[in-house]
């Protein structure tokens, strides 16, 4: 079709007064116009599509816009109801009944009655009750008054020390110079050390010579019995 059209235009160009050599330029111009027309149609269709898309997006936004406010209003309403319930609970706690002053007065009256009953007792009854109470707790008073003796060891120099009571280790370690060890006991003890001259020993503030013990494997063992040695 294009070949026929070009041949027709070339033959007709003489009648129209158009140079035959410029026929290709005329055809190219026509093709450019057709191409521009097609491009304009495409641009128009794209603009229509974009407008339709924008309109649909706007309708969606307009549809979802009130839903956000519904959620927000629901959230505010829940908070308001929670605060209202909290205030009611606090109000109920404040309205908790307080003991009546009449009850306190009755308690005071009972205490006064008991005081009056005690005052009615004769002096002889009071003395007899006091003697009975004292007689019930003589043993406790004697126990409280009794003081347990203290075993005290003072290191003059760095020394290793081990103390046993009924085959149980009470203390085992190193005492440094000037360090003291105290132990309240009335039981028999076994004191073991390497150098007894480096340790001063006192029991109930009385000095004990542990160097009088027996030596076994380069260790001095001193059996201390409070009932015999003190």
Using the structure block, give the residue that is written with the tokens 């898309």: 53
CA distance 190 to 220: 10
CA distance 158 to 183: 20
Confidence of residue 61 (pLDDT cuts 50, 70, 90): low
Instruction: Write down how long the chain is.
Output: 230
This prediction has a pTM of: 0.37
Could you report the per-residue pLDDT of 177-215, keeping only the tens digit for each?
999 988 888 888 899 998 888 889 898 888 888 888 888
**Better-predicted residue by pLDDT, 56 or 90:** 90
Fold designation for 148-229:
Immunoglobulin-like (2.60.40)
> If you write DSSP's letter for every residue of 99-144 in order, what string do you get?
PPHHHHHHHHHHHHHHHHHHHHS-HHHHHHHHHHHHHHSHHHHHHH
């Amino acid at each position: 079709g294009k070949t026929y059209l070009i041949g027709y235009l070339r033959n007709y160009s003489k009648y129209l007064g158009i140079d035959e050599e410029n026929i290709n330029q005329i055809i190219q111009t026509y093709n450019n116009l057709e191409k521009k027309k097609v491009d304009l149609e495409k641009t128009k269709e794209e603009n229509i599509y974009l407008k339709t898309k924008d309109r649909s997006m706007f309708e969606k936004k307009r549809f979802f816009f009130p839903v956000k406010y519904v959620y927000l209003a629901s959230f505010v309403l829940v908070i308001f109801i929670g605060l209202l319930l909290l205030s009611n609970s606090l109000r109920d706690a404040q309205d908790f009944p307080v003991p009546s002053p009449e009850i306190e007065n009755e308690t005071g009256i009972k205490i006064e009655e008991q005081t009056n009953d005690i005052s009615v007792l004769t002096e002889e009854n009071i003395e007899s009750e006091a003697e009975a109470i004292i007689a019930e707790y003589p043993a406790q008073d004697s126990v409280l008054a009794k003081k347990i003796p203290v075993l005290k060891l003072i290191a003059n120099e760095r020394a290793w020390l081990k103390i046993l009571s009924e085959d149980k280790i009470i203390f085992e370690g190193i005492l440094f110079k000037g360090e003291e060890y105290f132990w309240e006991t009335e039981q028999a003890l076994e004191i073991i050390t390497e150098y007894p001259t480096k340790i001063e020993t006192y029991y109930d503030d009385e000095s004990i010579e542990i160097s009088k013990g027996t030596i076994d494997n380069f260790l001095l063992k001193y059996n201390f019995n409070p009932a015999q040695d003190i």
